[in-house]
Amino acid sequence: IMKISSCKPQHGSYLELILESGPVYEIHRDIAMMYDLMNIEDISEETLVKMLFDNDVRRAYHRALYLLERQSYSYHMLFLKLSNNYDDDVCYEVMDRLTKLGVINDWEYAENAARRAAEIKLYGPRRICQILYQKGIPKTVIDKTVSEYVSAEYQTEQIIQLLNKKYSRMLDDKEDKKKIEKCKAALVRMGYGFTPIAAALKLYFENEKS
């Protein structure tokens, strides 16, 4: 049991808790009320540990909500962000709460990120997979999300858009093998497979003739 020297308002919504043994803690008023801090003279080590955990969870939770107001996060991304300032057990508790509320949803995040990558950036399925992987999205979610972008027909249509919008200057001469290979390499980096690239180039040159 540890003696409480004082517990008094500090700044904003926090109280300053000073123990007789020396440590000083900032405790939010809501947490202080939960533990009836203003009306007790001593506190057990077990209760103090639990109270400090709840205090950190409250801070981390509101920090997470603040971050989510400004941009969307995957579970992994937000966990890493919070772990810069809080212990892992605090972060897991916060993430569990946000997941149960539906505020963090990797399926929804992956679908939106994949759609932006495909429709705005015109990235191919391999590049989309890389993006989602870097965001910490689980493989099962990635595989399901990207499945609608992998068909050869879809990829070919996307590549033709890219050829017309971005790479037409490389393709002004179909006999210039060096430029064509450079174009193919660029499309591979964009995340497309060799088969749809070849099909798209064939269609592109056929349309150029007509």
Cα distance between residue 18 and residue 29, in whole Å: 15
- pLDDT tens track of the chain, all 210 residues? 888 888 888 777 888 888 888 788 899 999 989 888 888 888 898 999 999 999 999 999 999 999 999 999 999 999 999 999 999 999 999 999 999 999 999 999 999 999 999 999 999 999 999 999 999 999 999 999 999 999 999 999 999 999 998 888 888 778 888 999 999 999 999 999 999 999 999 998 888 765
Whole-structure pTM value: 0.80
- Given 3-state DSSP classes, what are the helix, strand and coil percentages for the chain, each rounded to the nearest 5? 65, 10, 25
Cα distance between residue 185 and residue 86, in whole Å: 44
